[in-house]
Structure 1
Amino acid sequence: MVKIKDIAAKLGVSISTVSKGLHGASDISEEMRQQVLDTAVMLGYVVKEKKSQDYHKVCIMVENMDYENINQFGYELITGFKLMAQEQQYQVDVIPMDVYTQMQQSYDTYMKQQSYSGAFFLGFEMSDAYMQQLKHTTIPTVLFDNYISNKHVAYIGTDNHIGTKSLVNYLQENGHKKIALLNGSKNSYVSNLRYEGFLAAMKDVGLEIDENLIGYGIGFLPETASSYIPQFIENGATAIVCASDLIAAGAINEIHKLDLRVPEDISITGFDDLPIAKYLAPPLTTIRQERFTLGKTAFTLLSQLISAVPVSTMLFHSELVIRESVSKVK
């Protein structure tokens, strides 16, 4: 059985450093944390020994989400899920998914042919074929930032309403009245939640909603910003709420191209608190999602579904992380 000291020996670091990496401590570098997590998964690290149980094989289906390194949103979700699965002696396969594959074979047929006991969905949009088929599936399935009404399907995520409200409140407290929303894809369930949260928050603080200050992108990528930043500035926006840190990074880049400054000329906020957020220029005010813990909890929900426990929804509290990308209105 692999122990923490084996991971430490493999990396040539102390046991305390490995422990910090496995438990999300903030006083080690992101690079070291990624090495610890990668090595733990590679060696088959198990948190604690469990009694033998029935064999299960599960999968993580990923669409529209990067996960190769710790700066990408899906990395810690998948790593947390895998570590919990290994503790329970489950096999986990990560399966990149696309629209074409979903059209070739139904979800239930694919899962049964591959002998999977359940699945964790990352990055899917509501219009995807597999998402529609989940309405009637009996396969235990956990969705990240998506919801389907089916006793065999659970939803896990961060409270998007509270997170978006925290951003709007913080901007309003700093004197901003013309606040724009740069959202993700219109077909994304979480985009709709953040839009609804934005509308409710603006109403709560008595600010007018300008349809010229609402924009949608393709996914949650930086390229979303190029189509909307000039429009937002022309319509008087003093702050932009971005639906992801990557969109916020794109927005900051586009603002710099216009010879404007963040936050002196326009304030920017993100969502996710990816490792890159604190290294942007300026460091980004954002909403933290505990991705590693979300991944571990996703596996717990899936194992409960596999055991015929009809769990439904689990939302994590959001946390506002204040950095230097927001300033008071002059």
Structure 2
Amino acid sequence: MATMEDIAKKVGVSKGTVSKALNGAADVSETLRKTIVETAVELGYTRARRGAVRTLCIFIENMGYTRPEDFGTDIVTGFRQMAEPAGFDVRVVDLNTDLERSVPYDAYMLREGYIGALFLGLSLNDPWMRDFRTSHTPAVLYDNIVPANPTVATLGMDNNEAIGRAVAALYALGHHRIGYLSSALGSHIYQVRYKSFFNALRQNGLPDDPSLAGVSYFSSETLDMHLPRLLEQGVTAVLCSSDLLAHTVMIRCQELGLQVPRDLSIVGFDDLPFCAHTAPPLSTIRQDRLQLGKSGYYALQSLLEGVPISSLLLHAALVLRASTGPAPEKAPAR
């Protein structure tokens, strides 16, 4: 097992400088810190002592995981169900941009003694997303992608397949004008779903005019501007980028005097626990979150064993409930 002395000797600095660099001391230049961290990883340096429990980390940002109904809860459970019997200790860390700006990813992992990590809820603007381009510590990113780094893998669902199935099902119900509503495209996965929607329209020979989609960071703008615009265009079904957005759209439709699904069919994405209990129950694309957690461990284990896995995508399931039905003979005019 490599030591600080080994790192210091190879870089040509003192052991104290190595210690400062790995602990994020301000009096070590970023250039030198980067060299020391890269050398430490190259030599296989770890804070874990021989015979100690190896520690993996789950970093979570912008995602709940403490309550049974939270999206991240089952992912964390699935990961632990695989990692802990295999002899790993698993830590869950709430991530924020202040932490990411304070220390590079590799340096943080060395400092804390974590040998690999699963990341949930990162946005494209997170500082560590830049670190992942050249990082050495194995990392699995849920719903994010970093190309050309053999120590970073992508985990998720096959969104193109899933949205294709939803659009095909709506088309089979007679919907020939389908709209899409999404939160802002500031994350990789919302960009993927947006593109997948238009791909699915084309595959089914349906109109793929960009005006059939409405994208906004603010739900009020989606409800007050984009939803009415889609209805004016004669849209008879709407696919939403998340269940929360779909439920909000369904409530607004009811406030407008529209009956779901008689006047408008609605489909969400994720199959959160509340979907089966809305009025009417919400059709959605189900992500098996327990299997996502288990697969996150499989991907991370592969990286730890030197297998440069690129991506691991699971099949999603389309769950049709009472919020979808046959297309109306004539689209409602609002």
| Identity between Structure 1 and Structure 2 (%) | 36
Q: Distance in 1 between matches of 2:301 and 2:288?
A: 20
Aligned to 2:67: 69
Give the corresponding residue for 1:152.
151
Say whether 1:59 aligns with 2:57. yes
Q: Which residue of 1 aligns with 2:203?
A: 204
CA contact (8 A) 2:60 2:95 kept: yes
Determine whether 1:78 maps to 2:76: yes
Counterpart contact for 1:224–1:247, Cα < 8 Å: no
Three-state SS of the structure 2 residue aligned to 1:60 is strand
Output aligned runs, 1:85-100, within 5 Å.
Answer: 85-100=83-98
Detail structure 1 runs of 4+ shifted over 6 Å in the superposition.
221-224
Residue of 104, 112, 122 corresponding to 2:120: 122
Q: Which residue number in structure 1 is paired with residue 182 of structure 2?
A: 183
Give the Cα separation in 1 of the matches to 2:247 and 2:52: 46
| 3-state SS in 2 of match to 1:311 | coil
Deviation of 1:251 (Å): 1.1
1:281-320 aligned within 5 A: 281-320=279-318
TM-fit CA distance, 1:164: 0.4
Q: CA RMSD in A?
A: 2.0
Q: Displacement of 1:222 after TM fit?
A: 6.7
Residue 325 of structure 1: CA displacement?
0.8
Q: What are the ranges of 5 or more consecutive residues in structure 1 without an aligned counterpart?
A: 1-51
CA distance, structure 2, for counterparts of residue 273 and residue 108 of structure 1: 35
Go from structure 1 to structure 2 and tell me whether the alpha carbon gap of 1:109 and 1:193 turns closer, same or farther (over 3 Å shift).
Answer: same
Instruction: Measure, in 2, the Cα distance between the counterparts of 1:106 and 1:214.
Output: 38
Residue in structure 1 matching 2:101, options 88, 100, 103 = 103
1:142 and 1:155 in contact (8 A); partners too: yes
Give the direction of change, closer, same or farther, for the CA distance of 1:316–1:268 in structure 2 (3 Å limit): same
**AA aligned opposite 1:210:** D
- Other-structure match for 2:161: 162
Count of aligned pairs: 277
- For residue 247 of structure 1, the aligned residue among 237, 245, 248 is 245
Aligned mates of 2:294, 2:246 — CA distance in 1: 27
Bigger radius of gyration among the two: 2
CA shift digits 1:259-294 (9 cap, x unpaired): 222111111001111221111111111111111011
1:99 Cα offset (Å) = 2.4
Which residue identity is paired with 2:223?
S
**CA spacing shift, 1:98–1:224, aligned 2, 3 Å:** farther
The one-letter code matched in structure 2 to 1:131 is: M
Flag the 1:199–1:282 CA change in 2: closer, same or farther, 3 A: same
Given residue 268 of structure 1, which amino acid in structure 2 is its aligned partner? Answer: I
Q: Answer whether contact 2:116 2:304 (CA < 8 A) is retained.
A: yes
Contact 2:214 2:227 in 1 (8 A): no
Q: TM-score, normalised by structure 2?
A: 0.78
Tell me how far apart the structure 1 counterparts of residues 216 and 134 of structure 2 sit (CA, whole Å): 30
> Which residue identity is paired with 1:304?
S
Instruction: Specify the alignment match of 1:326 in structure 2.
Output: 324
> What corresponds to 2:214 in structure 1?
215
- Once residues 165 and 70 of structure 2 are traced to their aligned partners in structure 1, the CA distance between those partners, rounded to angstroms, is 24
Q: Is the contact between residue 59 and residue 94 of structure 1 (CA under 8 Å) also seen in structure 2?
A: yes
Distance 2:216 2:87 in 1: 40
Matches of 2:81 and 2:144, distance apart in 1: 23
Q: 1:53, CA displacement in angstroms?
A: 7.0
Partner of 2:191: 192
Residue of structure 2 in register with 1:226 after alignment: 223
Contact 1:223 / 1:250 at 8 angstroms: preserved in 2? no
